[in-house]
């Protein structure tokens, strides 16, 4: 009986590894953003449904202007100014004007900052690349470190704090991330990005010279005329991580990996990482007795197939968060495809749903 043997094989292997699959599924629920369940069931529009008032949510993968351009004026550009390097652009507007997340991402800083008075810093992954956006001189901030935000979610209001000569948003973009990358002139992106709450006329990538930013521009921008589609893989919509539930350095990668295929969600991957190695990485993620390594506990043979330089740092590193977590997502999607095929042809049954079998497959590697 092929059907019995296949399912038995999966279950036996899972038990042998010693991590109860149902525990991971329970864990996944803990990682899930409560508010997101509401969004998942009520996401026809993409304009703030299920979210806090004042949001101008854009479809997953969007890159939008951080402020309504009709409420601000461009007062200062990027580059040298008063003998100093001005690492962003200034957009002047009344105190209290809403500031929105330019893209889906994770809050890595929110609060006091020298020079800026107060700031918010977001990390994003678009087109497989890490980049940060910085929002300075803000009057109030509405987000916490570790929180997942969506493009168009209100994160702050324009202020006049710190070394500022009038109310404005100071906005920076950092391909490669604020730690490890470098600030580039955000003007081309600002000019071509749709305003909050607006669908762009054309999906043309902005003409940019910097290769990093050009990459970023090839990220899945909103396609013309396409409304927000809550079932689109890649957005992670419907299963965002609960605020602060994972270490902030993991969050953007988990969100990205959780959008690779419809069966695998960010919260499921987070639960796996918790169970596998407790979010340890680098020198803190020792190789296990079985030879598995890194935050996602890849066995060497599996890593040889799935490991890649997803974080773009020039090395394929089983101990790096970006490489390991994106590989984990690809591997889980591959397992899910195989398990779904087995279920479809009747060779295994999944009385408790297929997710247990996906997880069992991962541990059976
Ligand atoms: Zn500035």
Who wins on pLDDT, 101 or 282? 101
Residue 181 and residue 323 in one domain: no
Low-confidence winner among 18-32, 62-76, 159-173, 285-299 (lowest mean pLDDT): 18-32
Would 130 be classed as within a structural domain? yes
Cα–Cα separations (whole angstroms), residue 322 to 113, 250, 308, 312, 329: 27, 8, 9, 9, 11
Same domain as 62, residue 18: no
What pLDDT was estimated at residue 200?
Answer: 56
Residue 219 lies in a domain: no
Which range of residues forms the domain containing residue 87?
A: 51-206
What's the Rg (C-alpha) of the chain? Answer: 22
Q: Indicate whether 319 and 202 sit together in one domain.
A: no
Distance (Å, rounded) from C-alpha 225 to C-alpha 223?
Answer: 6
pLDDT of residue 196: 93
Q: Are residues 56 and 163 in the same domain?
A: yes
Query: Rounded to the nearest whole angstrom, what is the distance from the C-alpha of residue 130 to the centroid of ligand 1?
Result: 23
Does residue 214 sit within a domain? Answer: no
Same domain, 69 and 12: no
d(CA 170, ligand 1 centre) in Å: 4
CA 160–ligand 1 middle distance (angstroms):
11
- Per mean pLDDT, which range of 77-81, 160-164, 278-282, 318-322 is the poorest? 278-282
Last residue of a domain, one of 164, 191, 206: 206
What pLDDT score was predicted for residue 355?
83
Output the six-digit token pair for 352.
């408790």
Q: Is residue 276 part of a domain?
A: yes
The Å distance, Cα 340 to ligand 1 centre, comes to 52
Task: Answer yes or no: is 182 within a domain.
Answer: yes
Do both 195 and 68 map to the same domain? yes
The residue out of 191, 206, 221 marking a domain boundary is 206
Cα 91 to averaged position of ligand 1 atoms, centre (Å): 8
pLDDT tens per residue, range 270-305: 888 887 788 888 777 666 767 788 888 888 888 888
Residue 218 and residue 184: Cα distance in Å, rounded? 17
Q: Are residues 64 and 202 in the same domain?
A: yes
Render pLDDT for 113-170 as a digit per residue (tens, 0 to 9).
999 999 999 999 877 889 999 999 999 999 999 999 999 999 999 999 999 889 999 9
Average confidence (pLDDT) over 224-241: 40
Judge whether 288 lies within some domain: yes
Q: Find the CATH number of the domain harbouring 114.
A: 2.70.70.10
Inside any domain, residue 87: yes
Q: Are residues 244 and 105 in the same domain?
A: no
155 in a structural domain: yes
Same domain, 26 and 126: no
The overall average pLDDT reported for the chain is 77
CA of 112 to the centre of ligand 1 (A): 16
Confidence of residue 112 (pLDDT cuts 50, 70, 90): very high
Work out the average pLDDT over 3-26. Answer: 54
**Alpha carbon of 122 to ligand 1 centroid (Å):** 17
Distance 171 CA to ligand 1 centre (A): 7
Q: What is the number of structural domains in the chain?
A: 2
User: What is the distance between the alpha carbons of residues 90 and 136, in angstroms, rounded to a whole number?
Assistant: 9
Give the contacts of 176 (CB within 8 A, at least 6 positions apart).
129, 130, 131, 182, 212, 312
C-beta separation of 102 from 190 below 8 A: no
Q: 167: which DSSP letter?
A: S
Q: Are residues 157 and 13 in the same domain?
A: no
pLDDT at 230: 32
Q: What is the mean pLDDT of residues 233-245?
A: 57
**Tokens 């899972």, residue located:** 14
List, as one string, the DSSP characters of 210-264: SHHHHHHHTS-PPPTTPPP-TT-TTS-TT-PBPTTSS-TTTHHHHHHHTTSSTT-
Tokens linked to 124: 């994003």
Q: How far is the CA of 102 from the centre of ligand 1 (A)?
A: 17
Q: What is the pLDDT of residue 54?
A: 81
> 37: CA distance to ligand 1 center in Å?
38
Do 244 and 338 lie in one domain? The reply is: yes
pTM of the complete model = 0.47
Is there a single domain that holds both residue 246 and residue 179? no
47-61, 99-113, 235-249, 327-341: least confidently modelled range? 47-61
Q: How far apart are the first and last CA of the chain?
A: 23
């Amino acid at each position: 009986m092929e059907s019995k043997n296949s399912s038995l094989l999966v279950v036996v292997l899972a038990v042998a590894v010693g991590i109860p699959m149902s525990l991971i599924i329970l864990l996944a629920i803990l990682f899930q953003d409560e508010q997101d369940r509401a969004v998942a069931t009520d996401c026809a529009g993409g304009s703030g449904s299920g979210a806090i008032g004042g949001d101008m949510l854009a479809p997953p993968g969007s890159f939008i202007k951080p402020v309504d351009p009709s409420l601000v004026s461009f007062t200062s550009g990027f580059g040298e100014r008063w003998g100093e390097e001005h690492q962003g652009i200034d957009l002047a507007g009344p105190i209290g004007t809403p500031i929105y997340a330019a893209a889906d991402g994770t809050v890595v800083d929110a609060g006091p900052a020298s020079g800026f008075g107060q700031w918010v810093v977001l990390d994003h992954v678009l087109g497989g690349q890490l980049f940060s956006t910085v929002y300075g001189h803000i009057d109030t901030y509405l987000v916490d470190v570790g929180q997942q935000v969506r493009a168009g979610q209100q994160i702050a209001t324009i202020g006049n704090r710190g070394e500022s000569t009038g109310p404005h948003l100071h906005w920076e973009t950092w391909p490669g991330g604020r730690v490890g990358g470098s600030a580039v002139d955000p003007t081309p992106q600002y000019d071509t990005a749709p305003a909050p709450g607006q669908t762009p006329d054309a999906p043309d990538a902005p003409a940019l010279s910097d290769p990093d930013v050009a990459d970023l521009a090839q990220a899945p921008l909103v396609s013309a005329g396409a409304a927000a589609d809550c079932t689109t893989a890649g957005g992670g919509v419907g299963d965002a991580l609960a605020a602060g539930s994972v270490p902030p350095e993991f969050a953007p990668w988990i969100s990205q990996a959780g959008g690779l295929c419809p069966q695998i969600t960010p919260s499921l991957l987070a639960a796996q990482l918790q169970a596998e190695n407790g979010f340890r990485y680098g020198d803190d993620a020792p190789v296990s007795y079985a030879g598995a390594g890194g935050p996602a506990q890849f066995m060497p043979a599996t890593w040889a197939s799935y490991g890649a330089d997803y974080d773009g740092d020039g090395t394929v590193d089983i101990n790096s968060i970006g490489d390991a977590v994106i590989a984990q997502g690809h591997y889980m999607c591959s397992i899910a495809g195989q398990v779904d095929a087995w279920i479809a042809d009747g060779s295994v049954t999944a009385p408790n749903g297929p997710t247990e079998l996906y997880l069992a497959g991962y541990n059976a590697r």
